[in-house]
Amino acid sequence: MVISTLSIFGGLPLKTFKQKILSESEEAMKLFNKTSLAAIGAAALLTASVGAANAQTTVTGNLTIDQAAAVSFVQTTAMDLGEVYAGRRGGGGGAVATYVIGPEGANDTTVNNVGGATDDFIVEVTAGDRATFTITGGLADETVQIELPTVPSTLTCGPCSGTNPTFSVGTFIDDGDAGEQLLDGSGDAVFYVGATLSTVAGAAAYEEGTYTGTYDVTVTY
């Protein structure tokens, strides 16, 4: 005698119930896979959108600079120490004589002779005159500094004999305010320089001729 036992689940035979469970599991897995793919796609789309917000663009900028013309500084008129006669009393050896060229006005000259028995003396024949300097192309209304020599210059006579004495020129002075000059609204200025000529102590007589020398003027701006 064979006895068959049939288990019933929810009113269904066991075999049928297992088949139903497997079928529902497959459907659930398919639904899960579809949902996961949709979520992954949405995440990728979101990532792409965020990436687009961080896009970069490069622009090249331009640089320019203008080089201004150099400031011009020239001697317009050389200092003219005039024509003088320099001599020595009593064979020389005493005080020197001086001849001052002022910067404030044209032909502003002063002779200074001590007058002692052996002192040098100067006689003015033709009045000397100050030097003229011109600045152009500076900054408008700028104050510039004028630097004059602090060491005297020596004037020598080229065609004279080798024993001929020299003259000394020092105490240079300009017509500015404490060594300063104010440029005008165009950045230009004209200023004047004077100095003091001195004989050089000694016994040798000054020979007739032209005595020359140089000096430096510096403008700081």
Distances (CA, A) of 137 to 30, 133, 141, 205, 207: 89, 14, 11, 47, 44
Taking residues 101-124, report their average pLDDT: 95
- 10-47 per-position pLDDT tens digit: 554 545 545 555 566 566 556 545 555 455 555 444 45
Long-range (24+ apart) CB contacts under 8 A made by 160-163 are 160/207, 160/209, 161/207, 163/204
Reference 191, options 70, 82, 78, 103; nearest CA is 103
Which residues have CB under 8 Å from 11's CB, separation 6+? none
Of 65 and 47, the structure prediction assigns the larger pLDDT to: 65
Cα–Cα dist 26/65, whole Å: 77
Domain ranges of the chain: 8-48, 72-220
How far apart are the C-alpha atoms of 67 and 183, rounded to whole Å? 20
At a CB cut-off of 8 Å and minimum separation 6, what does 172 contact? 148, 149, 193, 194, 195, 215, 217
Distance separating alpha carbons of residues 124 and 104, to the nearest angstrom: 19
What is the DSSP code string of 125-149? Answer: EE--B-EEEEEES--TT-EEEEE--
Helix (H, G, I), strand (E, B) or coil at 13: strand
Question: What tens digit of pLDDT does each residue of 166-220 get?
Answer: 999 999 999 988 889 999 999 999 999 999 999 999 888 999 999 999 999 999 9
Residue 210 is given by DSSP the state -
Least confident piece of the model among 28-37, 85-94, 126-135: 28-37
Give the range among 61-70, 139-148, 151-160 with minimum mean pLDDT.
61-70
For position 162, what pLDDT does the model report?
A: 75
- pLDDT value of residue 221: 87
Per-residue pLDDT band at 158 (split at 50, 70, 90):
confident
